Amino acid sequence: MEQALGDALSALEWPYETLINYELRSPEHLVLDVDLPEIEMLPIQQASVPAKALKLSIKSLSQSNQRQQYARHIHSIGVRLLGECFKTLPTIQAITLSGYSQRLDKSSGHERDDYLYSVKVDRGSWSGLNFRELDKVDPVECLGQFEIRRQMTKTGIFRPVEPLET
Indicate the pTM of the whole model. 0.91
Is the pLDDT reported for residue 158 higher than 90?
yes
- The pLDDT score that the predictor gives to residue 106 is 87
Give pLDDT tens digits for 12-36.
Answer: 999 999 999 999 999 999 999 999 9
Give pLDDT tens digits for 53-76.
Answer: 778 888 999 999 999 999 999 999
- The pLDDT score that the predictor gives to residue 49 is 86
Average pLDDT, the chain: 94
What CA–CA distance (Å, rounded) separates 115 from 109? 18
What CA–CA distance (Å, rounded) separates 103 from 112? 6
Q: What is the DSSP string of the chain?
A: -HHHHHHHHHT---SS--EEEEEEEETTEEEEEEEPPPGGGS-SEEEE--TT-SS-EEEEPPHHHHHHHHHHHHHHHHHHHHHHHHHH-TT--EEEEEEEEEEE-TTTS-EEEEEEEEEEEEHHHHTTS-GGGGGG--HHHHHHTSEEEEEE-TT--EE--PPPP-
Is the pLDDT reported for residue 154 higher than 80?
yes
| Dihedral sign from CA coordinates of 9, 15, 16, 17 | positive
Give pLDDT tens digits for 121-150.
Answer: 999 999 999 999 999 999 999 999 999 999
- What's the CA angle centered on 73, arms 49 and 8, to 5 degrees? 120
Kindly state the average pLDDT of the residues 2-16: 94
